[in-house]
Amino acid sequence: MSELVLEGEVRAEAGVNFALIKYWGKAPARAAHEANLPAVPSLSLTLADLGTVTRARFAPDAAEDAVWLDGERLAGEPLRRVVAVLDRIRSVAALRSPFEIRSTNSVPTAAGLASSASGMAALAGAAGRCAGLDDPARVSELARIGSGSASRSVFGGWVAWDGPAARPLHPEDHWDLAVVVAIVSRARKKIGSRAAMNLTARTSPFYAGWVQQARGTFDEGVRALAERDLEGLVAAMEASTMRMHACAMGARPPILYWQAESLAAIHRVRALREEGLMCGWTMDAGPNVKVVCEREAQGVVVEALSEIPGVQECMVCLPGPGIRVSLGRSEG
């Protein structure tokens, strides 16, 4: 085993992302480092201002990895997911030392924007850099081991993921869109994305159809994005979202993330379109609804969604940069 590559501290900051074209389903993994390889291609937008800051350093004298999230020491399954990423870093870099990791999230958990995506991306960026691994595709692969969608948070702006690592498609200033998140519930979801997608793959009769159509919907989304065709992007995004949720609803026991207020928000988006305002909705593994629109239309969308009984809050999110890694201690 070689010497430690870096003795100081590394700070990495990553933003959350949300999927326009959904990842739902994993390819079979024959080894730990093949975890979370996607069964379908996905397309996402990395967001500004919401994310995770992680500080990593080697702790050669410690007995094991020590990880803190928002000041609390991790244990159990959340710790195991982090250690899976650290184990892969040690294996690739031929190192043995435990790490000390401290992370802070700036994502309100109520927003239903996966903080695990920014968290695992920042972890891979910071701990990877400690071990001399800083190629973005390599960092994306490392992040993916912790959480599939985290592979996309390594890159800024518009990102595609259809293999071991995600890849950037367009920078954050490619298109002036906004995402309005309508928060309808702050309750913790009953079934997380990992368990839900595995249950779907095992038991939903619609899963094979979902996988089979995914490439076509992805290609549609990629084309619409390149051409800044909002109507085309919305059509692909809503098809991907509907099919993902339909596929999950077909599982045994069925998985249902939607609430009455989610459906009310969806109908409101459809009404806005009929009134002439182009916008589209999507949902992930939770009841909150995300609406994509031109930036200049965000005020109208916020107003329309805020009027729905049961919508507790609307949050506006904008495209953001990829991971930022720096050496040494700094504030943030």
Rounded to the nearest angstrom, the gap between the alpha carbon of residue 320 and the centroid of all alpha carbons in its chain is 13
What token pair was written down for 319? 């495209």
What token pair was written down for 135? 């190629």
CB 239 within 8 A of CB 209: no
CB 145 within 8 A of CB 36: yes
Residues 190-229 that bind ligand PMV (CB under 6 A): 193-194
Closest distance to ligand PMV from the beta carbon of 329 (Å): 30
Closest to ligand PMV by CB, 47 or 304: 47
- Which of 52, 54, 97, 116 binds ligand PMV (CB under 6 A)? It is 116
CB 287 within 8 A of CB 258: yes
How many amino acids of this chain bind ligand PMV (CB under 6 A)?
14
Angle between helices 230-249 and 207-226 (to 10 degrees): 160
Beta bridge partners of 301: none
Closest distance to ligand PMV from the beta carbon of 147 (Å): 4
SS3 88: helix
- Which of 45, 67, 114, 304 binds ligand PMV (CB under 6 A)? It is 114
Closest distance to ligand PMV from the beta carbon of 36 (Å): 7
Cis before 205 (ω within 30): no
Closest distance to ligand PMV from the beta carbon of 103 (Å): 16
Closest to ligand PMV by CB, 62 or 187: 187
Report if residue 23 touches ligand PMV, rule: CB under 6 A. Answer: yes
Report if residue 147 touches ligand PMV, rule: CB under 6 A. Answer: yes
Beta bridge partners of 60: none
The single-letter DSSP state of residue 289 is E
Interface mask toward ligand PMV for 240-269; x: CB under 6 A: ------------------------------
Report if residue 42 touches ligand PMV, rule: CB under 6 A. Answer: yes
Q: How far apart are CA 271 and CA 328, in angstroms?
A: 51
What token pair was written down for 65? 């990895």
Report if residue 287 touches ligand PMV, rule: CB under 6 A. Answer: no
CB 279 within 8 A of CB 256: no
Closest distance to ligand PMV from the beta carbon of 99 (Å): 22
Closest distance to ligand PMV from the beta carbon of 331 (Å): 29
Residue closest to 289 by CA, chosen among 311, 273, 318: 311
Beta strands 166-170 and 313-317 are unpaired
Closest distance to ligand PMV from the beta carbon of 206 (Å): 16
Report if residue 284 touches ligand PMV, rule: CB under 6 A. Answer: yes
Report if residue 290 touches ligand PMV, rule: CB under 6 A. Answer: no
Alpha carbon separation from 208 to 200, 202, 311 (Å, rounded):
10, 10, 34
Closest distance to ligand PMV from the beta carbon of 237 (Å): 11
Residue closest to 8 by CA, chosen among 168, 130, 123: 130
Residues 148-187 that bind ligand PMV (CB under 6 A): 148-149
Closest to ligand PMV by CB, 11 or 243: 243
Q: Which stretch binds ligand PMV (CB under 6 A): 5-13, 74-82, 144-152, 300-308?
A: 144-152
| Site residues (vs ligand PMV, CB under 6 A) | 19, 22-24, 42, 114, 116, 147-149, 193-194, 284-285
